[in-house]
Structure 1
Amino acid sequence: MSKVVLVTGASSGIGKAIATFLSEKGYKVYGTSRSPKNQETFSFELIALDVLKIETIKTAVDFIIKKESKIDVLVNNAGIGITGSIEDTPTEEMRNAFNTNFFGAIDVIKTVLPHMRKQKYGVIVNTTSIAGYMGLPFRGIYSSSKGALELVTEATRMEVKRFGINIVNVAPGDFATDIISRRYHTPIFEDSAYKENYKANLDLMDAHVDTGKNPIEMAKKVYEIINTKNPKIHYKVGGFLEKFSIVLKRVLPDTWFEKILMNHYKL
Protein backbone atom coordinates (compact mmCIF):
# COMPACT_ATOMS: atom_id res chain seq x y z
CA MET A 1 0.00 0.00 0.00
CA SER A 2 1.10 3.56 -0.67
CA LYS A 3 2.15 5.59 2.33
CA VAL A 4 -0.50 8.05 3.47
CA VAL A 5 0.67 11.63 3.93
CA LEU A 6 -1.07 14.58 5.56
CA VAL A 7 0.28 18.01 4.57
CA THR A 8 -1.17 21.04 6.34
CA GLY A 9 -1.25 24.40 4.60
CA ALA A 10 -1.14 22.78 1.17
CA SER A 11 -3.22 25.17 -0.93
CA SER A 12 -0.20 27.25 -1.97
CA GLY A 13 3.53 27.82 -1.63
CA ILE A 14 5.79 25.28 0.04
CA GLY A 15 2.91 23.10 1.24
CA LYS A 16 1.43 22.77 -2.23
CA ALA A 17 4.86 21.97 -3.69
CA ILE A 18 5.43 19.22 -1.11
CA ALA A 19 1.96 17.70 -1.53
CA THR A 20 2.18 17.79 -5.33
CA PHE A 21 5.68 16.28 -5.44
CA LEU A 22 4.82 13.44 -3.04
CA SER A 23 1.61 12.73 -4.96
CA GLU A 24 3.62 12.45 -8.17
CA LYS A 25 5.95 10.01 -6.38
CA GLY A 26 3.04 7.67 -5.68
CA TYR A 27 2.08 8.66 -2.13
CA LYS A 28 -1.57 9.01 -1.13
CA VAL A 29 -1.58 12.67 -0.16
CA TYR A 30 -4.18 14.66 1.72
CA GLY A 31 -3.48 18.37 1.74
CA THR A 32 -5.34 20.82 3.91
CA SER A 33 -6.63 24.35 3.63
CA ARG A 34 -8.89 26.48 5.79
CA SER A 35 -11.25 26.88 2.82
CA PRO A 36 -10.65 24.20 0.16
CA LYS A 37 -11.74 25.10 -3.37
CA ASN A 38 -10.86 24.44 -7.01
CA GLN A 39 -10.09 20.79 -6.27
CA GLU A 40 -9.45 20.16 -9.97
CA THR A 41 -6.26 22.26 -9.82
CA PHE A 42 -4.61 19.88 -7.34
CA SER A 43 -3.09 16.46 -7.95
CA PHE A 44 -3.99 15.45 -4.38
CA GLU A 45 -7.13 15.57 -2.28
CA LEU A 46 -7.58 18.90 -0.50
CA ILE A 47 -9.61 18.80 2.72
CA ALA A 48 -10.65 21.39 5.29
CA LEU A 49 -8.48 22.00 8.35
CA ASP A 50 -7.84 25.15 10.36
CA VAL A 51 -5.01 24.72 12.87
CA LEU A 52 -6.69 27.32 15.10
CA LYS A 53 -9.81 25.14 15.42
CA ILE A 54 -9.19 21.80 17.11
CA GLU A 55 -12.50 20.36 15.95
CA THR A 56 -11.46 20.77 12.29
CA ILE A 57 -8.14 19.03 13.01
CA LYS A 58 -9.94 16.05 14.57
CA THR A 59 -12.47 15.92 11.74
CA ALA A 60 -9.74 15.92 9.08
CA VAL A 61 -7.65 13.25 10.81
CA ASP A 62 -10.72 11.06 11.45
CA PHE A 63 -11.68 11.41 7.77
CA ILE A 64 -8.27 10.15 6.63
CA ILE A 65 -8.18 7.31 9.16
CA LYS A 66 -11.67 6.19 8.12
CA LYS A 67 -10.62 6.10 4.46
CA GLU A 68 -7.04 4.83 4.77
CA SER A 69 -6.83 3.26 8.27
CA LYS A 70 -3.49 5.00 8.84
CA ILE A 71 -1.41 8.15 8.55
CA ASP A 72 2.23 7.38 7.82
CA VAL A 73 3.57 10.90 7.46
CA LEU A 74 2.52 14.30 8.79
CA VAL A 75 4.06 17.40 7.24
CA ASN A 76 3.25 20.23 9.63
CA ASN A 77 3.52 23.12 7.21
CA ALA A 78 0.66 25.52 7.98
CA GLY A 79 1.90 28.84 9.29
CA ILE A 80 1.77 32.61 8.94
CA GLY A 81 4.31 35.39 8.76
CA ILE A 82 4.32 38.49 10.92
CA THR A 83 6.47 41.63 10.78
CA GLY A 84 6.88 44.72 12.90
CA SER A 85 8.80 46.09 15.84
CA ILE A 86 7.99 44.52 19.19
CA GLU A 87 6.80 47.87 20.51
CA ASP A 88 4.44 48.63 17.61
CA THR A 89 3.04 45.16 16.90
CA PRO A 90 -0.34 44.49 18.56
CA THR A 91 0.01 41.80 21.21
CA GLU A 92 -3.11 40.09 19.90
CA GLU A 93 -1.41 39.62 16.53
CA MET A 94 1.59 38.13 18.33
CA ARG A 95 -0.71 35.63 20.04
CA ASN A 96 -2.33 34.77 16.72
CA ALA A 97 1.08 34.04 15.19
CA PHE A 98 2.04 31.75 18.07
CA ASN A 99 -1.37 30.07 18.01
CA THR A 100 -0.87 29.28 14.32
CA ASN A 101 2.85 28.56 14.05
CA PHE A 102 3.36 26.89 17.42
CA PHE A 103 0.21 25.76 19.21
CA GLY A 104 -1.58 24.92 15.95
CA ALA A 105 1.27 22.65 14.90
CA ILE A 106 1.26 21.02 18.33
CA ASP A 107 -2.49 20.36 18.15
CA VAL A 108 -2.05 18.58 14.81
CA ILE A 109 0.79 16.50 16.26
CA LYS A 110 -1.28 15.57 19.33
CA THR A 111 -4.19 14.49 17.13
CA VAL A 112 -2.05 12.32 14.84
CA LEU A 113 0.22 10.72 17.47
CA PRO A 114 -2.33 8.22 18.92
CA HIS A 115 -2.80 6.72 15.44
CA MET A 116 0.95 6.56 14.80
CA ARG A 117 1.54 4.91 18.18
CA LYS A 118 -1.12 2.33 17.39
CA GLN A 119 0.46 1.49 14.04
CA LYS A 120 3.96 1.62 15.63
CA TYR A 121 5.26 3.83 12.85
CA GLY A 122 5.20 7.43 11.73
CA VAL A 123 7.22 10.38 10.53
CA ILE A 124 6.38 13.96 11.47
CA VAL A 125 8.11 16.77 9.59
CA ASN A 126 7.74 20.23 11.07
CA THR A 127 8.35 23.15 8.75
CA THR A 128 10.18 25.74 10.84
CA SER A 129 12.50 28.45 9.48
CA ILE A 130 16.14 29.47 9.36
CA ALA A 131 14.80 32.65 10.98
CA GLY A 132 13.96 30.46 13.99
CA TYR A 133 17.67 30.10 14.77
CA MET A 134 18.15 33.80 15.53
CA GLY A 135 16.22 36.87 16.59
CA LEU A 136 15.80 38.99 13.48
CA PRO A 137 14.83 42.67 13.74
CA PHE A 138 11.19 43.34 12.87
CA ARG A 139 10.63 39.57 12.67
CA GLY A 140 11.09 38.78 16.37
CA ILE A 141 7.70 37.13 16.81
CA TYR A 142 8.00 35.02 13.68
CA SER A 143 11.54 33.98 14.61
CA SER A 144 10.55 33.05 18.16
CA SER A 145 7.44 31.09 17.13
CA LYS A 146 9.50 28.98 14.74
CA GLY A 147 12.37 28.66 17.20
CA ALA A 148 9.92 27.41 19.83
CA LEU A 149 8.69 24.73 17.43
CA GLU A 150 12.29 23.65 16.79
CA LEU A 151 12.80 23.02 20.53
CA VAL A 152 9.47 21.28 21.05
CA THR A 153 10.37 18.97 18.17
CA GLU A 154 13.58 18.00 19.97
CA ALA A 155 11.68 17.19 23.17
CA THR A 156 8.80 15.31 21.53
CA ARG A 157 11.16 13.31 19.35
CA MET A 158 12.73 11.76 22.47
CA GLU A 159 9.33 11.07 24.02
CA VAL A 160 7.95 9.13 21.02
CA LYS A 161 11.09 7.41 19.77
CA ARG A 162 10.22 4.10 21.46
CA PHE A 163 6.92 3.98 19.54
CA GLY A 164 8.71 3.86 16.18
CA ILE A 165 7.94 7.50 15.42
CA ASN A 166 10.47 10.02 14.10
CA ILE A 167 9.96 13.77 14.36
CA VAL A 168 12.22 16.17 12.48
CA ASN A 169 12.50 19.87 11.64
CA VAL A 170 13.03 21.30 8.18
CA ALA A 171 14.01 24.97 8.27
CA PRO A 172 13.61 26.81 4.97
CA GLY A 173 15.25 30.10 4.12
CA ASP A 174 13.64 32.52 1.66
CA PHE A 175 11.48 30.87 -0.98
CA ALA A 176 9.52 32.36 -3.83
CA THR A 177 5.97 31.98 -2.49
CA ASP A 178 2.96 34.19 -1.83
CA ILE A 179 3.73 34.44 1.89
CA ILE A 180 3.89 38.23 1.60
CA SER A 181 0.18 38.44 0.80
CA ARG A 182 -0.66 36.26 3.82
CA ARG A 183 1.73 37.84 6.29
CA TYR A 184 0.54 40.20 9.00
CA HIS A 185 2.34 43.49 8.54
CA THR A 186 2.28 45.89 11.45
CA PRO A 187 1.33 49.24 9.87
CA ILE A 188 4.05 51.82 9.31
CA PHE A 189 2.80 54.33 11.84
CA GLU A 190 3.66 57.95 11.06
CA ASP A 191 4.54 58.66 14.68
CA SER A 192 6.54 55.45 15.19
CA ALA A 193 10.11 55.66 16.45
CA TYR A 194 10.89 52.78 14.06
CA LYS A 195 9.20 54.19 10.95
CA GLU A 196 12.18 54.60 8.61
CA ASN A 197 14.07 51.45 9.67
CA TYR A 198 10.95 49.30 9.57
CA LYS A 199 9.91 50.50 6.12
CA ALA A 200 13.39 49.87 4.70
CA ASN A 201 13.52 46.40 6.24
CA LEU A 202 10.01 45.54 5.05
CA ASP A 203 11.12 46.26 1.49
CA LEU A 204 14.26 44.16 2.05
CA MET A 205 12.24 41.20 3.40
CA ASP A 206 9.87 41.30 0.43
CA ALA A 207 12.79 41.43 -2.01
CA HIS A 208 14.32 38.34 -0.38
CA VAL A 209 11.07 36.42 -0.90
CA ASP A 210 10.69 37.62 -4.50
CA THR A 211 14.17 36.33 -5.34
CA GLY A 212 13.90 33.23 -3.18
CA LYS A 213 14.46 29.63 -4.15
CA ASN A 214 11.95 27.34 -5.85
CA PRO A 215 9.70 25.53 -3.30
CA ILE A 216 10.42 22.27 -5.12
CA GLU A 217 13.69 22.15 -3.16
CA MET A 218 11.71 21.82 0.06
CA ALA A 219 9.58 19.11 -1.51
CA LYS A 220 12.66 17.12 -2.50
CA LYS A 221 14.11 17.45 0.99
CA VAL A 222 10.90 16.19 2.61
CA TYR A 223 10.87 13.25 0.17
CA GLU A 224 14.46 12.47 1.15
CA ILE A 225 13.64 12.64 4.87
CA ILE A 226 10.65 10.30 4.77
CA ASN A 227 12.76 7.80 2.86
CA THR A 228 15.61 7.93 5.38
CA LYS A 229 15.65 5.16 7.96
CA ASN A 230 17.17 7.26 10.74
CA PRO A 231 16.58 10.92 9.87
CA LYS A 232 18.44 13.72 11.60
CA ILE A 233 16.71 16.12 13.97
CA HIS A 234 17.39 19.33 12.04
CA TYR A 235 17.54 20.05 8.31
CA LYS A 236 18.11 23.42 6.64
CA VAL A 237 17.10 24.27 3.09
CA GLY A 238 18.27 27.60 1.72
CA GLY A 239 21.11 29.61 0.27
CA PHE A 240 24.72 29.30 1.44
CA LEU A 241 24.68 32.57 3.40
CA GLU A 242 21.39 31.70 5.09
CA LYS A 243 22.73 28.38 6.33
CA PHE A 244 26.16 29.84 7.12
CA SER A 245 24.51 32.46 9.35
CA ILE A 246 23.51 29.65 11.73
CA VAL A 247 27.14 28.52 11.94
CA LEU A 248 28.30 32.09 12.58
CA LYS A 249 25.79 32.52 15.40
CA ARG A 250 27.08 29.35 17.00
CA VAL A 251 30.78 30.25 16.88
CA LEU A 252 30.94 34.04 17.16
CA PRO A 253 30.56 36.07 20.35
CA ASP A 254 26.98 37.30 20.68
CA THR A 255 27.84 40.96 20.21
CA TRP A 256 29.85 40.23 17.04
CA PHE A 257 26.96 38.34 15.48
CA GLU A 258 24.57 41.10 16.55
CA LYS A 259 26.75 43.67 14.79
CA ILE A 260 26.72 41.59 11.58
CA LEU A 261 22.92 41.48 11.64
CA MET A 262 22.61 45.18 12.39
CA ASN A 263 24.91 46.01 9.48
CA HIS A 264 22.93 43.77 7.18
CA TYR A 265 19.62 45.34 8.20
CA LYS A 266 21.19 48.85 8.25
CA LEU A 267 20.32 49.51 11.89
Structure 2
Amino acid sequence: MSKVILITGGSSGIGKSVGEYLQLKGYKVYGTSRNPNNYPDSKFPIIALDVTEQDTIKSCVQTVLQNESQIDVLINNAGAGITGPLEEIPDAEIKRNFETNLFGPINVIKAVLPIMRKHKSGLIINVTSIAGYMGLPYRGVYSASKGALELVTESFRMELKAFNINMTNVAPGDFATNIAAGRYHAPVLEDSPYRDKYDYSLKMMDEHVDEGNDPSQMAEAIYRIINAKQPKIHYKVGAFMQKFSIVLKRILPDTIYEKLLMNHYKL
Protein backbone atom coordinates (compact mmCIF):
# COMPACT_ATOMS: atom_id res chain seq x y z
CA MET A 1 0.00 0.00 0.00
CA SER A 2 1.09 3.56 -0.68
CA LYS A 3 2.38 5.50 2.30
CA VAL A 4 -0.03 8.07 3.72
CA ILE A 5 1.48 11.52 4.08
CA LEU A 6 0.03 14.47 6.00
CA ILE A 7 1.45 17.90 5.17
CA THR A 8 0.50 20.87 7.32
CA GLY A 9 0.31 24.06 5.33
CA GLY A 10 -0.06 22.10 2.11
CA SER A 11 -2.19 24.55 0.15
CA SER A 12 0.55 26.84 -1.20
CA GLY A 13 4.28 27.45 -1.44
CA ILE A 14 6.64 24.71 -0.34
CA GLY A 15 3.86 22.54 1.10
CA LYS A 16 1.91 22.54 -2.17
CA SER A 17 5.02 21.78 -4.21
CA VAL A 18 5.98 18.91 -1.90
CA GLY A 19 2.45 17.47 -1.92
CA GLU A 20 2.11 17.51 -5.70
CA TYR A 21 5.54 15.93 -6.15
CA LEU A 22 4.89 13.15 -3.65
CA GLN A 23 1.49 12.41 -5.15
CA LEU A 24 3.12 11.98 -8.56
CA LYS A 25 5.48 9.50 -6.89
CA GLY A 26 2.54 7.38 -5.83
CA TYR A 27 1.98 8.48 -2.22
CA LYS A 28 -1.43 9.17 -0.70
CA VAL A 29 -1.16 12.85 0.22
CA TYR A 30 -3.32 15.00 2.48
CA GLY A 31 -2.62 18.70 2.93
CA THR A 32 -4.04 21.22 5.35
CA SER A 33 -5.11 24.84 5.38
CA ARG A 34 -7.00 27.09 7.73
CA ASN A 35 -9.41 27.73 4.83
CA PRO A 36 -9.55 24.62 2.62
CA ASN A 37 -12.52 25.95 0.64
CA ASN A 38 -10.16 28.48 -0.92
CA TYR A 39 -8.36 25.67 -2.77
CA PRO A 40 -10.99 23.76 -4.77
CA ASP A 41 -8.46 22.96 -7.51
CA SER A 42 -5.87 21.33 -5.25
CA LYS A 43 -4.44 18.13 -6.73
CA PHE A 44 -4.74 16.40 -3.35
CA PRO A 45 -7.29 16.69 -0.50
CA ILE A 46 -6.98 19.76 1.74
CA ILE A 47 -8.28 19.38 5.30
CA ALA A 48 -9.12 22.21 7.71
CA LEU A 49 -6.34 22.75 10.25
CA ASP A 50 -5.03 25.66 12.28
CA VAL A 51 -1.93 24.49 14.14
CA THR A 52 -2.70 26.95 16.94
CA GLU A 53 -6.10 25.33 17.58
CA GLN A 54 -6.04 21.95 19.34
CA ASP A 55 -9.56 20.98 18.23
CA THR A 56 -8.68 21.39 14.55
CA ILE A 57 -5.54 19.29 14.98
CA LYS A 58 -7.56 16.44 16.49
CA SER A 59 -10.27 16.74 13.85
CA CYS A 60 -7.74 16.75 10.99
CA VAL A 61 -5.99 13.61 12.21
CA GLN A 62 -9.34 11.85 12.69
CA THR A 63 -10.39 12.77 9.15
CA VAL A 64 -7.24 11.22 7.70
CA LEU A 65 -7.70 8.09 9.77
CA GLN A 66 -11.32 7.74 8.65
CA ASN A 67 -10.02 7.42 5.09
CA GLU A 68 -6.76 5.59 5.79
CA SER A 69 -5.54 3.13 8.38
CA GLN A 70 -2.34 4.98 9.16
CA ILE A 71 -0.34 8.17 8.90
CA ASP A 72 3.10 7.06 7.77
CA VAL A 73 4.73 10.46 7.31
CA LEU A 74 3.97 13.81 8.93
CA ILE A 75 5.53 16.87 7.32
CA ASN A 76 5.27 19.81 9.70
CA ASN A 77 5.45 22.57 7.11
CA ALA A 78 2.94 25.15 8.38
CA GLY A 79 4.70 28.23 9.67
CA ALA A 80 4.69 32.00 9.72
CA GLY A 81 7.28 34.67 9.07
CA ILE A 82 7.79 37.72 11.21
CA THR A 83 10.08 40.73 10.89
CA GLY A 84 10.87 43.83 12.86
CA PRO A 85 13.20 45.33 15.44
CA LEU A 86 12.91 43.18 18.55
CA GLU A 87 12.27 46.26 20.65
CA GLU A 88 9.25 47.22 18.54
CA ILE A 89 7.49 43.91 17.83
CA PRO A 90 4.36 43.63 20.02
CA ASP A 91 4.46 40.84 22.60
CA ALA A 92 1.25 39.39 21.17
CA GLU A 93 2.89 38.95 17.76
CA ILE A 94 5.95 37.27 19.27
CA LYS A 95 3.72 34.83 21.14
CA ARG A 96 1.61 34.21 18.03
CA ASN A 97 4.70 33.35 16.03
CA PHE A 98 5.90 30.83 18.61
CA GLU A 99 2.40 29.33 18.74
CA THR A 100 2.56 28.77 14.99
CA ASN A 101 6.22 27.83 14.49
CA LEU A 102 6.94 25.86 17.66
CA PHE A 103 3.95 24.89 19.81
CA GLY A 104 1.77 24.13 16.78
CA PRO A 105 4.17 21.58 15.27
CA ILE A 106 4.71 20.02 18.70
CA ASN A 107 0.96 19.54 19.15
CA VAL A 108 0.55 18.02 15.68
CA ILE A 109 3.39 15.63 16.53
CA LYS A 110 1.64 14.67 19.76
CA ALA A 111 -1.54 13.94 17.82
CA VAL A 112 0.10 11.49 15.39
CA LEU A 113 2.54 9.76 17.75
CA PRO A 114 0.00 7.31 19.27
CA ILE A 115 -0.94 6.19 15.74
CA MET A 116 2.67 5.72 14.66
CA ARG A 117 3.57 3.98 17.91
CA LYS A 118 0.66 1.56 17.44
CA HIS A 119 2.02 0.64 14.00
CA LYS A 120 5.63 0.65 15.26
CA SER A 121 6.79 2.91 12.44
CA GLY A 122 6.64 6.47 11.23
CA LEU A 123 8.59 9.46 10.00
CA ILE A 124 8.15 13.09 11.06
CA ILE A 125 9.82 15.83 9.03
CA ASN A 126 9.91 19.30 10.57
CA VAL A 127 10.43 22.13 8.12
CA THR A 128 12.52 24.74 9.91
CA SER A 129 14.80 27.36 8.31
CA ILE A 130 18.43 28.16 7.74
CA ALA A 131 17.56 31.34 9.64
CA GLY A 132 17.07 29.09 12.69
CA TYR A 133 20.82 28.48 12.88
CA MET A 134 21.69 32.10 13.62
CA GLY A 135 20.19 35.20 15.17
CA LEU A 136 19.49 37.50 12.22
CA PRO A 137 18.85 41.23 12.59
CA TYR A 138 15.18 42.15 12.26
CA ARG A 139 14.33 38.44 12.05
CA GLY A 140 15.16 37.56 15.63
CA VAL A 141 11.76 36.12 16.56
CA TYR A 142 11.64 33.97 13.42
CA SER A 143 15.21 32.74 13.99
CA ALA A 144 14.36 31.88 17.59
CA SER A 145 11.12 29.99 16.87
CA LYS A 146 12.66 27.95 14.04
CA GLY A 147 15.85 27.34 16.02
CA ALA A 148 13.78 26.07 18.93
CA LEU A 149 12.02 23.57 16.66
CA GLU A 150 15.43 22.32 15.49
CA LEU A 151 16.44 21.58 19.09
CA VAL A 152 13.10 20.05 20.00
CA THR A 153 13.54 17.67 17.08
CA GLU A 154 16.89 16.53 18.43
CA SER A 155 15.26 15.66 21.76
CA PHE A 156 12.24 13.99 20.20
CA ARG A 157 14.46 11.79 18.00
CA MET A 158 16.14 10.19 20.99
CA GLU A 159 12.89 9.69 22.88
CA LEU A 160 11.22 8.01 19.89
CA LYS A 161 13.99 5.62 18.86
CA ALA A 162 12.53 2.77 20.92
CA PHE A 163 9.26 2.97 18.94
CA ASN A 164 10.88 2.85 15.47
CA ILE A 165 9.71 6.39 14.78
CA ASN A 166 12.15 8.70 13.03
CA MET A 167 12.23 12.48 13.13
CA THR A 168 14.32 14.94 11.19
CA ASN A 169 14.64 18.63 10.32
CA VAL A 170 14.75 20.17 6.86
CA ALA A 171 15.97 23.76 6.88
CA PRO A 172 15.21 25.63 3.66
CA GLY A 173 16.88 28.83 2.58
CA ASP A 174 15.05 31.39 0.46
CA PHE A 175 12.55 29.94 -2.00
CA ALA A 176 10.31 31.72 -4.47
CA THR A 177 6.99 31.45 -2.62
CA ASN A 178 4.33 33.80 -1.24
CA ILE A 179 5.76 33.64 2.31
CA ALA A 180 6.58 37.36 2.33
CA ALA A 181 2.91 38.22 1.81
CA GLY A 182 1.93 36.19 4.85
CA ARG A 183 4.55 37.54 7.23
CA TYR A 184 3.82 39.81 10.12
CA HIS A 185 5.84 42.95 9.44
CA ALA A 186 6.34 45.37 12.28
CA PRO A 187 5.66 48.74 10.64
CA VAL A 188 8.55 50.98 9.62
CA LEU A 189 7.88 53.85 12.03
CA GLU A 190 8.91 57.34 10.97
CA ASP A 191 10.15 58.18 14.46
CA SER A 192 11.88 54.83 15.02
CA PRO A 193 15.64 54.80 15.70
CA TYR A 194 15.71 51.66 13.50
CA ARG A 195 13.74 53.19 10.61
CA ASP A 196 16.34 53.38 7.82
CA LYS A 197 18.19 50.15 8.59
CA TYR A 198 15.03 48.13 9.14
CA ASP A 199 13.50 49.50 5.95
CA TYR A 200 16.63 48.49 4.01
CA SER A 201 16.69 45.01 5.57
CA LEU A 202 12.99 44.48 4.90
CA LYS A 203 13.41 45.26 1.21
CA MET A 204 16.44 42.95 1.04
CA MET A 205 14.49 40.07 2.62
CA ASP A 206 11.66 40.44 0.12
CA GLU A 207 14.14 40.50 -2.78
CA HIS A 208 15.78 37.31 -1.50
CA VAL A 209 12.41 35.54 -1.52
CA ASP A 210 11.52 36.86 -4.99
CA GLU A 211 14.87 35.64 -6.31
CA GLY A 212 14.78 32.40 -4.33
CA ASN A 213 15.16 28.86 -5.61
CA ASP A 214 12.35 26.79 -7.09
CA PRO A 215 10.42 25.06 -4.26
CA SER A 216 10.59 21.83 -6.27
CA GLN A 217 14.09 21.45 -4.78
CA MET A 218 12.47 21.05 -1.37
CA ALA A 219 10.05 18.48 -2.79
CA GLU A 220 12.91 16.42 -4.20
CA ALA A 221 14.87 16.67 -0.94
CA ILE A 222 11.90 15.51 1.14
CA TYR A 223 11.26 12.63 -1.26
CA ARG A 224 14.86 11.48 -0.74
CA ILE A 225 14.47 11.74 3.04
CA ILE A 226 11.30 9.63 2.99
CA ASN A 227 13.21 6.96 1.13
CA ALA A 228 16.37 7.12 3.26
CA LYS A 229 17.01 4.04 5.40
CA GLN A 230 18.44 6.14 8.22
CA PRO A 231 17.38 9.81 7.95
CA LYS A 232 19.93 12.28 9.28
CA ILE A 233 19.09 14.70 12.07
CA HIS A 234 19.51 17.87 10.02
CA TYR A 235 19.17 18.69 6.33
CA LYS A 236 19.72 22.05 4.65
CA VAL A 237 18.26 22.93 1.27
CA GLY A 238 19.01 26.17 -0.54
CA ALA A 239 21.60 28.30 -2.25
CA PHE A 240 25.24 27.41 -1.60
CA MET A 241 26.07 30.60 0.32
CA GLN A 242 23.03 30.23 2.56
CA LYS A 243 24.08 26.71 3.52
CA PHE A 244 27.72 27.74 3.78
CA SER A 245 26.76 30.48 6.25
CA ILE A 246 26.03 27.71 8.79
CA VAL A 247 29.50 26.27 8.27
CA LEU A 248 31.05 29.70 8.75
CA LYS A 249 29.16 30.16 12.01
CA ARG A 250 30.70 26.93 13.31
CA ILE A 251 34.29 27.76 12.40
CA LEU A 252 34.60 31.53 12.78
CA PRO A 253 34.94 33.42 16.06
CA ASP A 254 31.58 34.83 17.11
CA THR A 255 32.56 38.47 16.71
CA ILE A 256 33.90 37.93 13.19
CA TYR A 257 30.73 36.11 12.14
CA GLU A 258 28.65 38.89 13.67
CA LYS A 259 30.62 41.44 11.66
CA LEU A 260 29.96 39.53 8.45
CA LEU A 261 26.21 39.58 9.13
CA MET A 262 26.27 43.26 10.00
CA ASN A 263 28.13 44.08 6.81
CA HIS A 264 25.62 42.07 4.82
CA TYR A 265 22.72 43.97 6.34
CA LYS A 266 24.64 47.26 6.25
CA LEU A 267 24.30 47.79 10.00
Please indicate, yes or no, whether the TM-score normalized by the shorter chain is above 0.5.
Answer: yes
Please report how far the alpha carbon of residue 37 of structure 1 lies from its aligned counterpart in structure 2 after TM superposition.
2.0
The equivalent residue for 1:262 is 262
- Matched AA of 1:26: G
Paired AA for residue 77 in structure 1: N
- Report the equivalent of 2:245: 245
Q: Is 1:194 the equivalent of 2:208?
A: no
Following superposition, the deviation at residue 39 of structure 1 comes to 4.6
The question of whether the paired residues in 1 share the 8 Å contact of 2:4 and 2:73 is answered with: yes
Task: Give CA-to-partner distance per residue, 1:23-44, whole Å, 9 cap, x none.
Answer: 1111000000001025542111
Tell me how far apart the structure 2 counterparts of residues 40 and 84 of structure 1 sit (CA, whole Å).
35
Inter-partner Cα distance in structure 2 for 1:166 and 1:179: 28
Does residue 72 in structure 1 map to residue 72 in structure 2?
yes
Question: What is the CA–CA distance in structure 1 between the aligned matches of 2:41 and 2:23, rounded to whole Å?
Answer: 13
> What is the Cα deviation at residue 145 of structure 1?
0.2
Q: Aligned partners of 1:39 and 1:51: how far apart in 2?
A: 18
Structure-2 separation of matches of 1:85 and 1:213: 27
Bigger mean CA deviation after superposition, 122-131 or 29-38: 29-38
Q: Residues of 2 paired with 1:40 and 1:204: CA distance?
A: 34
Provide the rounded CA distance (Å) in 1 between the counterparts of 2:38 and 2:197. Answer: 40
Deviation at 1:135, TM superposition (A): 0.2
Cα distance in 2 between the residues matched to 1:161 and 1:20: 30
Q: Which AA in structure 1 matches 2:37?
A: K
> Does the aligned pair in 2 maintain the 1:172–1:236 contact within 8 Å?
yes
Q: Tell me the SS of whatever aligns to 1:151.
A: helix
Distance 1:87 1:23, change over 3 A: same
Shift, 1:63, TM fit? 1.1
Are the equivalent residues in 2 in contact too, given 1:39–1:45 (CA < 8 A)?
no
Q: Is the 8 A contact 2:11 2:39 kept in 1?
A: no
Counterparts in 2 of 1:214-253, with a 5 A limit?
214-253=214-253
Unaligned runs of 5+ in 2: none
Report the aligned-residue RMSD.
0.7
| 1:144 counterpart residue number | 144
How far off its partner does 1:185 sit?
A: 0.2
Q: Residues of 2 paired with 1:98 and 1:153: CA distance? A: 15
Number of matched residues? 267
Q: Partners in 2 of 1:164 and 1:18 — Cα distance? A: 24
- C-alpha distance in 2 between matches for 1:36 and 1:43: 12
Unaligned residue ranges in structure 1 (runs of 5+)? none
Within 5 A, what are the aligned runs for 1:107-118? Answer: 107-118=107-118
Match for 1:241: what amino acid?
M
Q: Aligned residue for 2:33? A: 33
CA–CA distance in structure 2, aligned partners of residues 126 and 262 of structure 1: 29
Shift of 1:192: 0.6
